Amino acid sequence: MGILRRNYKRPNVETELYSRRSNRLLSRFAIALSTLAIILSSLTLARVFTLQREVEALEDSLEQLTAVPSPTATNPSNTTDSNIPVPPPAVAPDSTITPSPTATLEPGRFVQPALSNQGQVELIRVNRIPGQFDVVNVQMRIRALKPNTPLSENIDLNDTTARNPGTNETYRVISGESTGVVSLGAMQSTNQTAVDAYVWLQVPMQVNVIDIYIPNTEPFANVPIAS
């Protein structure tokens, strides 16, 4: 009996405690790893599901784009509604219906004595100014007929007037638009027998014929106005 007691060994309590603690720690670590793996798997699945939905949405958009028909060129003439009346073609007015007088008057047609036959005035052209159709340009030629005419014998074109023979309406000179004073005596002193002069009159567009009154000159009746 004494030998048996000597050969019997008591278990090591500290070793068993350490072993148990190690097993518990390993178990907890394994559980933690498993939990982490489950979480990562869940996140991966969620991301994959999100990407799948985005891909499906993109595919739907592409299908809608490919389903839209491309526009085709149409002939503008075919789009015209046949019920809409087509206006008749524009016809240019016939200029032969109301012919306008020529720009240059017939030579010798409008000639009048001036300053008691010491001079003479001939109308050369009576026409409207381009772009200013209510302005009439009266161009004339003034001649000195007698020698030794005093310098005081002159024609002041600033006092020229015109009259509508149908309504007796009077038209006057545009300020500053005339040759001014033409002296027969000054013409002779410079050996000029004739000078050209002009005057601008304010005449409405609808007036085509006027009487012209130049100072110290016999009046000109029924003078046509060229366009």
**Identity of the residue numbered 96:** T
Q: What percent of the chain shows pLDDT beyond 70?
A: 74
Q: How confident is the model at residue 110 (pLDDT cuts 50, 70, 90)?
A: very high
Q: What is the pLDDT of residues 3-24, one digit of tens each?
A: 445 555 555 666 767 777 777 7
**Identity of the residue numbered 158:** N
Q: What is the pLDDT of residues 141-152, one digit of tens each?
A: 999 999 888 989
Longest dimension (CA), the chain: 192
Q: How confident is the model at residue 97 (pLDDT cuts 50, 70, 90)?
A: very low
Q: What is the pLDDT of residue 10?
A: 56
In the chain, which ranges are E strands? Answer: 111-114, 119-129, 132-144, 154-156, 161-163, 170-178, 181-183, 194-202, 209-213, 220-224
Nearest to 110 by CA among 136, 140, 135: 140
| Residue 139 pLDDT greater than 50, yes or no | yes
Q: Tell me how far apart the alpha carbons of residues 67 and 62 are, in angstroms, rounded to a whole number.
A: 9
**Identity of the residue numbered 10:** R
Q: What is the pLDDT of residue 6?
A: 53
Residue 188 gets which letter from DSSP?
H
In 32-191, which ranges are E strands? Answer: 111-114, 119-129, 132-144, 154-156, 161-163, 170-178, 181-183
Q: What is the pLDDT of residues 200-223, one digit of tens each?
A: 999 999 999 999 999 999 999 999
Q: How confident is the model at residue 156 (pLDDT cuts 50, 70, 90)?
A: very high
Mean pLDDT of 221-226: 96
| Residue 47 pLDDT greater than 90, yes or no | no
Q: What is the pLDDT of residue 92?
A: 37
